[in-house]
């Protein structure tokens, strides 16, 4: 009877061990699957991050180029305004000279 009781207790313990081992195996498999999924998501996020960083770098370069272009355009505009002002002044001087010549021609007649 003692042997039967001992064998039955050992049998119950063996069944408990194997059943809990199967539960732990399934938990381990699920955890490894979730780990793989998380690693894939992390890789995708890293790729997106790199893509956005490249886009930001390209945008910054474009902005710098635009600023340089605006600066040169602004300088050209200022030079043209200065030239226009000089031409207006010269035009007024020539207009005054023309008026003087017409006046002198009118007095000669």
pLDDT tens readout for residues 64-81: 999 999 999 999 999 999
Cα separation, 61 vs 75, whole angstroms? 21
- CA torsion angle 59 62 66 68 (round to 10): 120
Report pLDDT digits (tens) over 80-89: 999 999 999 9
- pTM recorded for the entire structure: 0.55
Q: How far apart are CA 16 and CA 26, in angstroms?
A: 15
* Pairwise CA distance, residues 57 & 61, whole Å: 6
Write the DSSP symbol of residue 101. Answer: H
């Amino acid at each position: 009877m003692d042997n039967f009781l001992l064998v039955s207790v050992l049998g119950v313990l063996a069944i408990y061990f194997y059943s809990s081992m199967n539960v732990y195996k399934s938990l381990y498999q699920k955890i490894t699957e979730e780990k793989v999924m998380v690693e894939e998501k992390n890789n995708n996020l890293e790729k997106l991050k790199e893509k956005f960083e490249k886009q930001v770098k390209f945008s910054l370069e474009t902005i710098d180029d635009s600023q340089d272009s605006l600066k040169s355009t602004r300088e050209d505009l200022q030079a043209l305004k200065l030239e226009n002002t000089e031409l207006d002044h010269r035009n007024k001087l020539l207009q005054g000279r023309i008026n003087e010549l017409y006046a002198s021609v009118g007095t000669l007649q």
